[in-house]
Every structure is written in structure tokens, then in C-alpha cells.
Amino acid sequence: MDEKFVIEPIAHIRTDFPEKFGVPRQSGLVNELVSKIVFEPEFRDPNALRGLELYSHIWLIWQFSKIENDDWSATIRPPKLGGNKRVGVFASRSPFRPNRLGLSCVRLEKIEYEKALGFVIYVRGADLVDGTPIYDIKPYIPYTDCRKDALNGFSFDGGKAHKTVVFNDGLADSFPETLISKIKAVLSQDPHPAYKNDEDRIYKMNFSEHLISFKVKENGINVIDIRPENIAKNS
């Protein structure tokens, strides 16, 4: 029997991240992020969602679609270990895996009907790039999915935010409070590569149709500029 089979996306997710840089390293770390799951036309039957509203969280099975080739590596360098120590790919959540599948647990915010799209699902805490294909959705069931005796491995800090985010004088006052709140939440997770320690380096992150420029200091993150995407592209 041929064990290979083809799977197709049932939906795609709309998020604030057009690129990989800045995306939270795990789901559930940034509750301020609200994303929208839009089903493909052939999967817009509302009966498929019947009863899902009774759950608070759902599992998303998806693909690392921004990987440029199909190569995978038996060992990888997790950012959690500073990018210097190798572990096996199956002991990690690296995108460089044989089938490039990802798994995320997100909070189900609401299910809403939109005339052009049918029923869409709004979720909080997703760790996906905008446009990521979704292959399946399953309910999170606490009594089986939550294992209180589980070991953390090398993910020892539980993913807690560990950076204070400050803005240059007057910068935060020029933008909506909701945007500033999201930027703070995302940057507090410190998205820069752990093995880079140059405090003068300027990092740039595309987020929510804005280009965010920041520096990583020993005592926190310093946001030095926020520019609307259309201005950034023309400058």
C-alpha cells in the first residue's frame, strides 16, 4: 500500500506578520495578537463548525510555508539555547523538518459570518505568518491535552516575557494605543537572534502594516522608529 497521500489547505490565516521575523516563537505567548482564519470556498460549510463554539481553545495544524526548499536537517540550533548548541530536529519545533508541519494551540475568540468569506474564526495568540495554510483544526480538550507531569526539556523558562520595551520620546503618542500595545507585547518576547549581542544594531520588523525599528539593549528593547508601510516602501 502506498503510504503517501496529498493534503490540501482547508483555510489560510490572516495575521499581523507578513514576514517570519518577529513572529512569537510559540503560540499563546502574545495574547494581544488577534488573527483571522478564512476557509477555502469548498470548506465553507457552516455544519463543519457546529459545536466548535463550545471550546475555548483549538489546535491548528499548518505548514511552514515560508521555507524556500524542502531540505531538512537532523539537528538544529534552538534559539532557546543561544543558537550554539545542537539538538535533534524531533526534540525541537524547528521549521526545518521533513514535512514542515506546525502545531499551535490558540484561544478561540469568536466565529463570525462575513458575506464575502462565509464563517471565519477569530483566534488569539497565534504564532503564524500571514497567509499560512491551515490543514486541520481540532478542539483543545483539557483533560487529555494538558499533562501536568510533563517535562519542559530545554524550554525551561515557560516562554515568559523577559524584556522591557521603551519608545523614543513622543513616538508612542503618534500611533493608536492598540498598535503600541501589540508592539510592546511582541517585542517583549525579544525576537532578535540570541547569539547577536551588538547593542548598536538596528533591527527592523514588519508588523501590522508598519515598519518597526528597534535596538536590543542589555536592560530592554528600545523602539526608535515606527513608520506606516506605504511610507516605508517609498522612502
More confident residue, 233 or 87: 87
Is 221 among the domain residues? yes
Buried b / exposed e along 35-64 (16+ C-beta atoms within 10 A): bbbbbeeeebeeeebeeeeeeebbbbbbbb
What confidence tens digit (pLDDT) does each residue in 132-188 have?
999 999 999 999 999 888 887 776 555 555 789 999 999 999 999 999 999 999 999
pLDDT for the residue 181? 96
pLDDT band at 233 (very low <50, low <70, confident <90, very high): low
The tally of domains found in the chain comes to: 2
The rounded distance, in Å, linking the Cα atoms of 65 and 73 is 17
Contact 10, 39 (CB under 8 A): yes
Please report whether residue 194 resides in a domain: yes
In the prediction, which pLDDT does 186 show? 96
| Least trusted range by pLDDT, from 6-15, 35-44, 89-98, 149-158 | 149-158
Mean of all residue pLDDT scores within the chain: 90
State if pTM tops 0.85. yes
Which pLDDT value is given to residue 231?
63
Same domain, 138 and 180: no
- 138 and 228 belong to one structural domain: no
Domain check: are 47 and 112 in the same one? yes
* Residue type at 209 in one-letter notation: E
Please check whether residue 153 lies inside any domain of the structure: no
One domain for residues 227 and 136: no
Q: Is residue 157 one of the residues assigned to a domain?
A: no
In a domain, 158, yes or no: no
Q: Specify the pLDDT at position 234.
A: 56
Is 4 a domain residue?
no
Same domain? For 56 and 134 the reply is: yes
- Does residue 2 belong to any structural domain of this protein? no
Residue 213: which domain range? 165-234
Shared domain check, 199 and 131:
no
Using the CB atoms, write b or e for 114-139: b if 16+ within 10 Å.
eeeebbbbbbbbbbbbbebbbeebee
Same domain, 130 and 219: no
d(CA 184, CA 206): 14
- 34 and 140 co-located in one domain: yes
pLDDT bin (cut points 50, 70, 90) of residue 39 is very high
> Has residue 160 been placed in a domain?
no
Which of 54-58, 110-114, 155-159, 221-225 comes out lowest in average pLDDT? 155-159
Residues 28 and 132 in one domain: yes
DSSP H helical segments within the chain, as ranges? 142-145, 177-187, 229-234
Whether residue 99 sits in one domain with residue 171:
no
CATH code of residue 52:
2.40.30.70
Query: For 55-95, what is each residue's pLDDT tens digit?
Result: 999 999 999 988 777 788 899 887 767 667 888 999 888 88
pLDDT at residue 199 is higher than 90: no
- Domain harbouring 205, CATH code: 3.30.2310.20
Whether residue 132 is found in the same domain as residue 22: yes
